[in-house]
Amino acid sequence: MAGKLSTEEMVKLVLRDAQAEADRDLEATMATLVDDPYFEIWPNGYTFSGREAVTEWYRPYLTRLTPAPIEPVNNLNLWCGDDTLVSEDIAVMQFNDGSRGPIRTLSIWSFEGALLKGERAYFDERGAHWIGQHVDDDFARRFLG
């Protein structure tokens, strides 16, 4: 396993992951993650791990939703630890019904070597509704228990 990333390297990796998501590039997004990543999405209560589950999470996220903000993300705060980066952000999104509005998130990324190990994301009410739109029955049955 590679050594720990510097703060600058952690930020660059998170930005590379965000750009891959904005580009709707599943392969590039997955390339930022370890072989056995984990995700937690709150307040929805979604927790899942493993390459298959995370790939199946991203597939509809990158194809059905409008994942890219319609304005630049406004980073409010950024905190870094030895192998953790925490970011508080506001993003203006276009929702599936055509409406637009801000969502607020607090994301906690963990790192392993030179890759992302996982993410815990905390959304406000509007963001929780937005992110919940793509969890279909098959994903819930297979990966959410």
**Higher-confidence position of 66 and 122:** 122
pTM score, whole prediction: 0.87
Return the structure tokens found at 24: 């709707």
Least confident window among 76-85, 101-110, 135-144: 135-144
Using the predicted structure, report yes or no on whether residue 139 has a pLDDT greater than 70: yes
What percentage of the chain has pLDDT greater than the value 90? 59
Residues 43-58 have a mean pLDDT of: 94
The answer to whether residue 2 is domain-embedded is no
If you search the block for the tokens 């995370």, which residue do you land on? 54
The answer to whether residue 66 is domain-embedded is yes
pLDDT for the residue 1:
45
User: What domain count does the chain have?
Assistant: 1
Domain that holds residue 35: 7-143
DSSP 95: -
Phi, psi angle pair for 23, to nearest 5°: -80, -5
**Higher-confidence position of 84 and 23:** 84
Return the structure tokens found at 90: 């506001």
The answer to whether residue 67 is domain-embedded is yes
The answer to whether residue 1 is domain-embedded is no
What percentage of the chain has pLDDT greater than the value 70? 92
The answer to whether residue 138 is domain-embedded is yes
Return the structure tokens found at 113: 């070597």
pLDDT for the residue 145:
67
Using the predicted structure, report yes or no on whether residue 54 has a pLDDT greater than 80: yes
Most confident of 1-5, 38-42, 68-72, 137-141: 38-42
pLDDT, mean over the chain: 88
Residue 86 sits in a domain whose CATH number is 3.10.450.50
Return the structure tokens found at 78: 């950024």
Residues 55-60 have a mean pLDDT of: 89
Residues 11-39 have a mean pLDDT of: 93
